[in-house]
Amino acid sequence: MSPSPAPSGPPGYNIPNQITAANVAKECLLAALKADSKAAHIWTNLANAYYLMSDNRSSAKCLEKEKLNLTFGDMLLFPPSGMQNLNEQLSWVGSEMEFTASNV
């Protein structure tokens, strides 16, 4: 049985120092979530840490949690790219809030 390949991270990634750093960040972020599990920015950073460690499944789960914890203000500040006018952004925010409420 051959050993599993080592995590590679994204292109240009300095293994193993940066994977070690991402793992330390992950542990800190997990501790921060114990204090505030609804902080969307912590979920986003944790998703990035998992991505850097090539754990795409955990990264995707964190992004789902992040989406569920976005506030109305967050959605207005960071709408999907391509939305130019406020009416389009408000319509998107409303549909996101409706979707989130129906899936909780």
Q: Which of 28-42, 51-65, 76-90 is predicted least confidently?
A: 76-90
The structural domain count of the chain equals 2
DSSP string, 51-93: HHTT-HHHHHHHHHHHHHT--HHHHHHSPPTT--SHHHHHHHH
Amino acid at 92: W
Residue 58 tokens read as 């955990």
pLDDT digits (tens, 9 = 90+) for 44-65: 889 989 988 889 899 989 888 8
Q: Answer yes or no: do 53 and 92 share one domain.
A: no
Q: Answer yes or no: do 21 and 45 share one domain.
A: yes
Q: Answer yes or no: do 62 and 96 share one domain.
A: no
Q: Any idea what the CATH number is for the domain that residue 42 is in?
A: 1.25.40
Q: Which residue range forms the structural domain that includes residue 19?
A: 13-69
The pLDDT of residue 85 is 65
Q: Would residue 25 count as lying in a domain?
A: yes
Q: Answer yes or no: do 65 and 19 share one domain.
A: yes
pLDDT category at 25 given cuts 50, 70, 90 is: very high
